[in-house]
Amino acid sequence: MTISGTELSRAYFHHVVEPVVRQRWPEMACAAARLGSGSDVLGLDDEMSRDHDWGLRLNLLVPAALADDVDAHLSERLPESYAGHPVRFATTWDPVVRHRVQVETARGLAVSRLGVDPTRDLGVEEWLSLTGQAVLEVTAGEVFADDAGELAGIRRRLEWYPDDVWRHVVATDWARLAQELPFIGRTGERGDELGSRVVAARLAGVVMHLAHLLERTWPPYAKWLGTSVARLPRGRAVLDPLHACVAAADWRTREARLVEALMVLGRLQSEVGLPTVEDPVEPFWDRPYRGVREDAVRVVEDAVRVVEDAITDQEVRALPRGVGSAEQWSDNVEVLVNTTRRRPPEP
């Protein structure tokens, strides 16, 4: 059976890296994990993953004052290979052939992936600057050791949005659906089948994103979004109607199957305790296609009402409707994976 990247990293740490470090610093509090970029962090690596940036990679989190010394010690003492894999290799972001034990602090690792400092309470704007992929790069990978517990504390703080912010991002996805749902029919009715398919596929992506939000699960970026939906305990029920939607040969079937997925989400939304309605769609004016009901989009109307009636955070109350978080502003990969594109660097 082929070893996974996480299994390889765990064995590498316990059999090689940890003994080398403990030989020099036997009492140093540190943490070790496989975090950051890479399909293995999400447990989704396979044979194809091995063609680049895969191998003996792990994060070693140490006190700031020792980071340079630990890195230099590893450079000098690590072997040439382990379990048939090279210890030193180049990556797509760094052409230098060197060991890939990323030595840094727990805070430094988190800030580098998130663009904000999760060792303290995050503000509303900071929560909205996060993308699911960025959070998963800190929280999804396996932790091999954590002597001080700092990494565990960071991961606990990132488990999920504060309730008020959660309601806002859920409302935003419904607002996005409301904006374009009628266009599936309008484009198709005008004979623009390609346009109808493009709109339907884009809205299918919003549905998958919303399914994650309702399950309180951070969504990965586009490459793994469908795979992640299939892992959701209840949200995975949108998969069949979405498959039928994007494969449909005519706009009426396309629209009907997307509406079916919205009905699934409406029920799920009620199950998780958020306001919803029995039927989230209605005819769009007098036209032969459907839209999201203005009075029924309770995550647009009622979630805002919940913010007004039950939320005391004035910053959340003032958020504009339908804007949401960074991954709802843009699907540009450079924005989703690059912290400096989402927020200015920490001073």
Flag whether pLDDT at 239 surpasses 90. Answer: yes
pLDDT score recorded for residue 322: 66
pLDDT score recorded for residue 306: 39
On whether both 106 and 189 belong to a single domain, the answer is no
Flag whether pLDDT at 141 surpasses 70. Answer: yes
In this prediction, residues 188-209 reach a mean pLDDT of: 95
Q: How far apart are CA 243 and CA 334, in angstroms?
A: 27
Residue 305 lies in a domain: yes
Domain boundary among 135, 157, 179: 157
| Average pLDDT of the chain, as a whole number | 86
Percent with pLDDT over 90 in the chain: 64
Residue 177 lies in a domain: yes
On whether both 173 and 197 belong to a single domain, the answer is yes
On whether both 209 and 311 belong to a single domain, the answer is yes
pLDDT score recorded for residue 331: 74
Residue 345 lies in a domain: no
Higher per-residue pLDDT: 325 or 305:
325
Q: How far apart are CA 266 and CA 261, in angstroms?
A: 9
The three-state secondary structure class of 331 is coil
Whether residue 238 contacts residue 347, with contact meaning beta carbons closer than 8 Å, is answered with no
pLDDT score recorded for residue 327: 81
Q: How far apart are CA 38 and CA 141, in angstroms?
A: 10
* Tokens standing for residue 258: 């997307």
- Residue 347 Cα to chain centre, angstroms: 25
With the CA atoms of 202, 204, 207 and 212 taken in that order, what torsion angle do they form, in degrees rounded to the nearest 10? -100
Flag whether pLDDT at 50 surpasses 80. Answer: yes
188 contact partners, CB below 8 Å, separation of at least 6: 195, 196, 250, 251, 252, 254, 255, 289
What are the start-end ranges of the H helices in the chain? 5-12, 18-24, 67-77, 106-114, 124-129, 132-139, 150-157, 163-189, 193-214, 222-229, 239-247, 251-271, 301-310, 314-317, 326-329, 333-337, 339-342
Residue 347 lies in a domain: no
Count how many domains the chain has.
2
The three-state secondary structure class of 299 is coil
Per-residue pLDDT tens digits for 12-38: 999 999 999 999 999 999 999 999 999
Cα Rg of the chain, angstroms: 23
Residue 210 lies in a domain: yes
On whether both 145 and 13 belong to a single domain, the answer is yes
User: Could you tell me the residue range of the domain that residue 251 belongs to?
Assistant: 163-340
Band (302; pLDDT cuts 50, 70, 90) = very low
Whether residue 139 contacts residue 159, with contact meaning beta carbons closer than 8 Å, is answered with yes
Token pair 């052409």 is found at: 95
Domain boundary among 157, 191, 215: 157
The three-state secondary structure class of 102 is strand
Higher per-residue pLDDT: 224 or 302:
224
Burial of 244 (0-12, 13-18, 19+ CB in 10 A): middle
pLDDT score recorded for residue 293: 42
Flag whether pLDDT at 279 surpasses 50. Answer: yes
Q: What is the DSSP letter of 42?
A: G
On whether both 334 and 258 belong to a single domain, the answer is yes
On whether both 167 and 147 belong to a single domain, the answer is no
On whether both 130 and 167 belong to a single domain, the answer is no
Token pair 């997925």 is found at: 261
Q: What are phi and psi of 144, to 5 degrees?
A: -95, -25
Q: What is the DSSP letter of 300?
A: T
Q: How far apart are CA 184 and CA 114, in angstroms?
A: 35
On whether both 18 and 111 belong to a single domain, the answer is yes
176 contact partners, CB below 8 Å, separation of at least 6: 203, 206, 322, 328
Band (186; pLDDT cuts 50, 70, 90) = confident
On whether both 234 and 305 belong to a single domain, the answer is yes
DSSP 190-254: TT-HHHHHHHHHHHHHHHHHHHHHHTT-----HHHHHHHHTT-TTGGGGHHHHHHHHH-SSHHHH
Residue 70 lies in a domain: yes
On whether both 194 and 223 belong to a single domain, the answer is yes
Whether residue 12 contacts residue 113, with contact meaning beta carbons closer than 8 Å, is answered with no
On whether both 167 and 302 belong to a single domain, the answer is yes
On whether both 220 and 254 belong to a single domain, the answer is yes
Per-residue pLDDT tens digits for 329-347: 777 777 767 777 776 544 4
Residue 275 lies in a domain: yes
Domain boundary among 142, 157, 172: 157
Whether residue 42 contacts residue 224, with contact meaning beta carbons closer than 8 Å, is answered with yes
The three-state secondary structure class of 280 is coil
Its pTM surpasses 0.75: yes
pLDDT score recorded for residue 323: 74
The three-state secondary structure class of 278 is coil
Per-residue pLDDT tens digits for 110-129: 999 999 999 999 999 999 99
Across 60-74, 193-207, 233-247, 293-307, least confident range: 293-307
Residue 209 lies in a domain: yes
